[in-house]
Amino acid sequence: TRFMTGFSSSLASVSSQLRGVVGLEIHAQIHATSKLFACSRVAFCSPPNSSVAFLDASLPGTLPVLNRRCVEAAVITGLALNCTINRKSLFDRKHYFYADMPAGYQITQQRLPIAVNGSLIYSYFGGRKRNQVLSRCVRIKQIQLEQDSGKSLHDDQRSQTLIDLNRAGVGLMELVMEADMSCGDEAAAAVRELQLILQTLGTCQGNMSEGQLRVDANVSVHCPGEPLGVRTEVKNINSARYVARAIDYEIQRQKKVLENGGIIVNETRAFDSKSGFMPEPNLPPLFVYEDEASVPAGVNPTQVVMIDRLKAELPELPGVRRARMVDQYKILPEHSFTLVNEDGLTEYFERVVRNTKAEPRKVIGWVMKELLGNLNQQSLKLAQSPVSPEALADLLNVLESGHISSSAAKVVFQEMWKAPEKAVEQLVKELDLGLVSDREKLLKICQKVVDTHPEQV
């Protein structure tokens, strides 16, 4: 009994030292009008099998033709994530047999992907009180182009499975992140940051509920300084919040298994690099070029992908924008997160700042409390706001001029929300909220109050 008690205590002690190790594989659906190798259109929620080319159905004699837009999207994403763009990349066949992949293989890039060795810097709120902005960096091992599979629809009543090939052949970017994260919060923050970057670039719409961004998490635990533990894989997580929940649950589950003297079983779907992949014979190597000068003679420059041109078109990325907001407008870091995370809110804020004399820190208060408060209360998106940035700027200008008080300005804002067609000055006049500055008029008002309240006097 003493031996067993000591053994259990030892296991518990080891468990307390265990730390999570998390890596992610993310499939991002490329925002394009047509599929990766066929001209069939990409559309969500269209009737089953209404957007299927002969190639998608794997009819004999059909050949893939590479979609240039998908290549450019992968290069742009790679540049934004600090990757090295391989000037030459290769396509492979990954063989597996399932009903929603009628060819019996998936065209992907395993041996030589289009982009490698990148990094993603992300931030999240942590610390004991979860009020500190913590920055982390996760390495991007590679970004590879590949085609999506179809969808299996299971009919339990008739005991049959139906196949919808609308999604078959849609272009994907698979982003493989190294195991540089340690918990669910970090992984969820990395997913959110990647989602924002992809949406900013326009390379993926990033709607997880529609399957445009799908996350697989590789999770293990180990004691720092010791070899990594056996990993398990949690597949097809469809929201950033569930990423955090699923990973933290899996970390705790593995700790409990080890506490009880068990072993972690490798439940990751493995692949055999020798038998699972072969070169795709119907697609030649994919070449991208540094600039127009590097394009070989005889090749039309308008028909190839050039890195320098795409790099010049990169927009301001979320992390850079947050830092600029804090530096330029002296706002709090947590406010910069809200501005950047809410689609279009940064532009709204900056339009207000450009059109008002109020300090940016005062503007941010109105945007956060009044604007977002009303939007959230009525479940509206920013694009549905009845108060335009220019209208809010007019209100703040009237407030700054001293014609109305701060409390009166809030009343005016609520009226602007109900009647956006009315100007600020008109509402102030209708509501009689203007401040009185005439000394004689003020004396008469005060005298009237004194005369009508003798007991209080």
Pairwise CA distance, residues 356 & 354, whole Å:
6
| 440 has a pLDDT exceeding 90 | no
| 438 has a pLDDT exceeding 80 | no
Nearest to 385 by CA among 355, 359, 410, 420: 420
| 199 has a pLDDT exceeding 90 | yes
| 397 has a pLDDT exceeding 60 | yes
Domain membership flag for residue 454 = no
| 273 has a pLDDT exceeding 60 | no
State mean pLDDT over 391-398: 95
Domain span holding position 177: 17-279
Q: Are residues 61 and 198 in the same domain?
A: yes
Q: Are residues 224 and 324 in the same domain?
A: no
Residues with Cβ within 8 Å of 142's Cβ and at least 6 positions away in sequence, in order, are: 113, 115, 116, 117, 175, 176
Instruction: Write the pLDDT tens digit of every residue in 124-139.
Output: 887 777 778 889 999 9
| 427 has a pLDDT exceeding 60 | yes
Pairwise CA distance, residues 104 & 106, whole Å:
7
Contact between residue 201 and residue 77 where contact means Cβ atoms under 8 Å apart: yes
Both tokens of residue 182? 């340690």
The pLDDT of residue 387 is 96
State mean pLDDT over 240-261: 91
Domain membership flag for residue 408 = yes
For residue 356, what pLDDT band results from cuts at 50, 70 and 90? very high
Domain membership flag for residue 24 = yes
| Alpha helix positions (H), 270-332 | 307-312, 318-329
Q: Are residues 195 and 98 in the same domain?
A: yes
Domain membership flag for residue 87 = yes
| 62 has a pLDDT exceeding 50 | yes
Nearest to 77 by CA among 147, 177, 144, 168: 144
Q: Are residues 179 and 235 in the same domain?
A: yes
The pLDDT of residue 12 is 54
Domain membership flag for residue 148 = yes
State mean pLDDT over 55-60: 94
The pLDDT of residue 264 is 82
Domain membership flag for residue 12 = no
The one-letter amino acid at 362: K
Q: Are residues 224 and 353 in the same domain?
A: no
For residue 1, what pLDDT band results from cuts at 50, 70 and 90? very low
Contact between residue 301 and residue 287 where contact means Cβ atoms under 8 Å apart: no
Domain membership flag for residue 333 = yes
Pairwise CA distance, residues 410 & 433, whole Å:
11
Q: Are residues 269 and 360 in the same domain?
A: no
The pLDDT of residue 193 is 96
Both tokens of residue 17? 């030292």
Q: Are residues 253 and 337 in the same domain?
A: no
Contact between residue 445 and residue 451 where contact means Cβ atoms under 8 Å apart: no
Instruction: Write the pLDDT tens digit of every residue in 360-369.
Output: 999 999 999 9
Contact between residue 395 and residue 371 where contact means Cβ atoms under 8 Å apart: no
Q: Are residues 245 and 322 in the same domain?
A: no
Q: Are residues 99 and 166 in the same domain?
A: yes
Q: Are residues 265 and 143 in the same domain?
A: yes
What's this model's pTM, rounded to 2 decimal places?
0.86
Lowest mean pLDDT among 3-17, 30-44, 270-284, 335-349: 3-17
| 187 has a pLDDT exceeding 50 | yes
Task: Count how many residues are written for the chain.
Answer: 457
Instruction: Write the pLDDT tens digit of every residue in 318-329.
Output: 999 999 999 999
State mean pLDDT over 239-262: 90
For residue 10, what pLDDT band results from cuts at 50, 70 and 90? low
Total structural domains in the chain? 2
Domain membership flag for residue 259 = yes
Instruction: Write the pLDDT tens digit of every residue in 68-77.
Output: 999 999 999 9
Q: Are residues 208 and 357 in the same domain?
A: no
Contact between residue 26 and residue 197 where contact means Cβ atoms under 8 Å apart: no
For residue 14, what pLDDT band results from cuts at 50, 70 and 90? low
The pLDDT of residue 284 is 93
Q: Are residues 325 and 432 in the same domain?
A: yes
The pLDDT of residue 450 is 95
The pLDDT of residue 306 is 96
